[in-house]
Amino acid sequence: MSEFDLSNWKLREIKTQPILDDELAAMHSFTNSYEDLFSKRSTQIKAENLDVKSFKEEDFKNLILKHYSFLKRPVFLTDKEIFVGNAKENIENLREFFRVR
């Protein structure tokens, strides 16, 4: 993320400042899916012996609120869009977003 100028962005460490229900709802309003916000790479999945394939939307939501590692990161939230995770396509979209600004 060092390639982006984040000087005008509010950065937050969710380990020490957990995500709140209304913040997650705001993210969900862009994706319409808690699963899209959920990190299937979270070490907590194995630690808690979770069967992600059987989850419903409410399960994804509750786990994201329970432990920070269930949220895909990074998350860039603007007034008009959201960028979630570090997938190649998402990073390319972020690069385009920062070029346009």
pLDDT per position as a tens digit, 17-51: 999 999 999 999 999 999 999 999 999 999 999 99
| 3-class SS of residue 54 | helix
H-helix segments, 32-80: 43-47, 57-66
- What confidence tens digit (pLDDT) does each residue in 42-77 have? 999 999 999 999 999 999 999 999 999 999 999 999
At 100, the pLDDT band (50, 70, 90 cuts) reads confident
Q: Give Cα separations from 6 to 1, 10, 12, 15, 82 (angstroms).
A: 9, 8, 12, 19, 15
Between 21-31 and 57-66, two packed helices, what is the crossing angle to 10 degrees?
140
What pTM was estimated for this model as a whole? 0.91
User: Residue 32, Cβ neighbours under 10 Å: how many?
Assistant: 8
Smallest CA-to-CA distance from 41 within 32, 31, 50 is with 50
Nearest to 57 by CA among 82, 34, 84: 34
If you search the block for the tokens 């995770």, which residue do you land on? 85
